[in-house]
Amino acid sequence: MLNRSTRIAALAPAPLALRESVLLDFGAQSLHLPQRPAALDALLRGDAGEQAADAVAATVFAVNGRDKEAKLLHDCALTTRRKALAVARLLHASEQTVGAAALLHRAGEACALRALARAESGSQVRLDSPSRAELCARHQGQFTEQLIAEWALPPPVAVALRGWRRFREGNSLAAAIVYYAHLLASEELHPEFFAPGLVRAVGAELGVDTSQIAAFG
């Protein structure tokens, strides 16, 4: 007899109407949000090291049922934070703001993924990868806003979280650094899918000499 997880995995990709209902059932709820980690306060004060960042990431990017996708987000968050802190030092930007925003820059996607995993478990429908990516991308904004509000994130961090994907539209240096650090992290973690010219172009916009990238670690 098939167990529940086997039945979910064996089902064919859901049609559009069912795909929408799977996530929207949870979209208006706050159940998908993780508890605010105790380590976050120390991280925001800037008096905590990698252990605090690891603790926050372990809370935000833990998604039962979608562990593989969550692990990718987890690794991206920590690598982006490491790159962002190095760029912040070069540009004399706030390391507290940049570090927290970089760590949480894909938290909205993780929350959307958590909502999707709950919906899949309840409906016994497992979405295919393109559907999952599309739904999480579409709804990550609302989840980010809920996280900002419920975790009481400082305004500069909130601005960076809202604007890092469109940093040219605002005047947040932190948002621009997070975007650039995300590119650097993507280049490190997934070089086979990355166009290096984009790193050089954004680095030039920020005034970061590309020869300094190797020193970021």
pLDDT in tens, 101-131: 999 999 999 999 988 888 887 767 787 888 7
Q: Is residue 30 part of a domain?
A: no
Domain of 87? 15-23+35-216
CA 153 to chain centre: 15
In a domain, 4, yes or no: no
* Cα–Cα distance for residue pair 119/19, rounded to 1 Å: 10
Q: What is the CATH number of the domain that holds 206?
A: 1.10.3210
| Cβ–Cβ under 8 Å, residues 174 and 93 | yes
**Per-residue model confidence (pLDDT) at position 6:** 40
Per-residue pLDDT tens over the stretch 30-74? 456 888 999 999 888 877 678 899 999 999 999 999 999 999 999
- Position with higher pLDDT, 207 vs 15: 207
Instruction: Give CA–CA dist 46/100, Å, rounded.
Output: 9
pTM metric for this prediction: 0.85
The count of structural domains within the chain is 1
Residue 2: inside a domain:
no
pLDDT number for residue 3: 44
Dist CA 51 CA 192 (whole Å): 30
7 in a structural domain: no
Whether 19 is covered by a domain: the verdict is yes
CA–CA gap between residue 72 and residue 59 (Å, rounded): 14
Residue 8 located in a structural domain: no
pLDDT at position 201 over 70: yes
